[in-house]
Amino acid sequence: MATRQDLANAIRALAMDAVQKANSGHPGAPMGMAEIGEVLWNHHLSHNPTNPDWTNRDRFILSNGHGSMLLYSLLHLTGYDLPMKEIKSFRQLHSKCAGHPEYGYAPGVETTTGPLGQGISNAVGFAMAEKLLANQFNKPGHDIVDHHTYVFLGDGCIMEGVSHEACALAGTWGLGKLIAFWDDNGISIDGHIEGWYTDDTAKRFESYGWHAIRDVDGHNPDAIEKAIQEAKKITDKPTMICCKTIIGKGSPNKSGSGACHGAALGEDEVALVRKEIGWDHPPFVIPQDIYDGWNQKDKGQAREAEWNTRFDAYSKEFPDLASELKRRMSNELPANWKKISESLVKDANAKAEKMATRKASQNAITSLAEFLPEFVGGSADLTGSNLTSIPSFEHVSGKKPGNYISYGVREFGMAAIMNGMALHGGILPFGGTFHMFTDYMRNGMRMAALMKQRVVYVLTHDSIGQGEDGPTHQPIETTSGLRYIPRMEVWRPCDATEVSTAWVAAVENLENPTSLVLSRQGTSFIPRTDAQITDIRKGGYVLSDSDGKANVIIIATGSEVGLAMDSQAALKENGVNARVVSMPCTHAFDRQEKKYQDSILTPGVKRVSIEAGVTDFWRKYVGLDGASVGINTYGESAPGGDLFKHFGFTVENVVKTVKSII
């Protein structure tokens, strides 16, 4: 019968052999955290390898993702559908065992943790989602949402700023079911961290409102077990278990040093490790008794069966809530969604109100929130400006749950936490900030796109933004930058009708994040036919056609659409027939059939784009023989109206630009 040490050594063997075969990867962390993995996964983690998506499973996140072979080993050994052939192809093309744990590749991987700090920050989102759903669905005697979030993190994650943005909130929120294990081995990619990392990590996390368990021997199963038991008893705050470990433990010549951090050990050292740990088996061979010691299939099925029994009892007593939980965890839209969404857009069009698109967005949120209890809104300290809250929302305050979060000045943390909430399921998170501050969020936004998560960003004060605050607050390059992120749907609507359409698209877009780029200034309402309203979803459509054959096509977005309409009238007086195309979402337009695209942007007709931002992006639509009215330099400080004139967003300049190309 295999001992616990044998079980832990199986992780070491798989990790070093896979890294050696690939000649790429990080063997040190898996070898150093093997005992922690064994204690947690074999004795505490509530999961079911035969159903990785079981609703009430514990979530496990490997934040120090470079040690991915630790997670792949655990998944393989405990019985997930991750066969040895995948372990053997670690880091190779189309392998389920990618360089870092990648969401959507291997079953049981809860999130992608390439950039350090994303994992622990996602974990905060997972734990927050669990707490919010428990508050909404649990009833006396029926704790149907009741699971932990466990996360492994290393020195790099502890240093990363986003970790602290998110972890400070985790303490404030009292996320008692979040338990983190810090792999305190004193080694980072640059070697020993003494001299450039002197934090008292336990004190720092205690100051955030965490419970800290110090100086746990990460190679002593009894010490690890004791620490986990203590952590699980702490229900009003998250716990950081500080585990002292030896990186690359088992390697006679490279353990405890940077030599095993991010490079294969080498064939000679691998052979020495086998002797050191008493592992007599060839590469990628695991004896049956060790598989038996790890196998969690039967236990996992029993855990889920027990929960199913409890959920059946809950369903009988609370059938509506049970049905709603199933819907939300499946990311299904309400049964009457088509009616809801159509009414939202039609009502906005019927009201014909002139307003800033940020205000139109708030109106849309107000209407949608009535039918979408999965909404969890929020803002990075700018709620009153980005208009993301509504009277019906209950604001999270300290440990008190709700459905709207003030994240404070933590844009990056907000984006990463929203990713965790979306990944958990049952929640549709949206978060607002000023458009230019997405630079801080960009990695979290990119991760949402990479993982195909439905997350909505409400980004206000577009184009000139807050002119008086100068170029730091003028996001002239930001919209184009967001458009270059694959699978990021960017909508820059021009009025309430387009805003409502954009919100509907964002809710329906189950496999993409959406950025709503919204104006500070008021925009004119533009009447539309039913056909035009339908065509908004296509991303680009003829808003106002030319009187006769078009001499030029003007493409505009957002607050500049009104300028395009005014310019069309002025051009007509100058004998120029112009077609005005509103293009609120270039991604949606690019997906349309060529026939439709050509019907909007007629081949052979010169084109001019108008957008208060950098112009290079628009070359794909206007070509080298077209022109763009935009901003290609950092600006000055002045009221917005003055800056629009300064940068040439006037009818006179548009007319001049059009005449220069036709």
What's residue 476's pLDDT?
Answer: 93
Nearest Cα neighbor of 170 from 162, 158, 178 is 178
pLDDT digit string, tens, across residues 49-70: 999 999 999 999 999 999 999 9
606, 553 Cβ separation under 8 angstroms: yes
Torsion of CA 500, 504, 505, 507, to 10 degrees: 140
- By DSSP bridging, strand 522-523 and strand 355-356 are antiparallel
Distance CA 559, CA 167 (A): 38
The DSSP string of 378-391 is EESS-HHHHT---T
- Is the full-model pTM beyond 0.85? yes
What's residue 378's pLDDT?
Answer: 98
Per the listing, tokens 């508050």 go with 135
Ranges of the chain whose pLDDT falls below 50: none
Residue 508 a catalytic site member: no
What's residue 277's pLDDT?
Answer: 98
409 three-class SS? coil
pLDDT digit string, tens, across residues 247-275: 999 999 999 999 999 999 999 999 999 99
Q: Which 8-state DSSP code applies to residue 466?
A: S
Structure tokens of 385? 């400006």
Three-point CA angle 189, 45, 137, nearest 5°:
115
Rounded to 10°, the helix 411-424/161-173 angle is 60
Structure tokens of 326? 């199933």
Structure tokens of 220? 């002593």
What's residue 466's pLDDT?
Answer: 82
Catalytic option among 35, 411, 489, 611: 411
What's residue 154's pLDDT?
Answer: 95
- Separation in Å, CA 592 to CA 144, 558, 643, 646: 44, 20, 35, 36
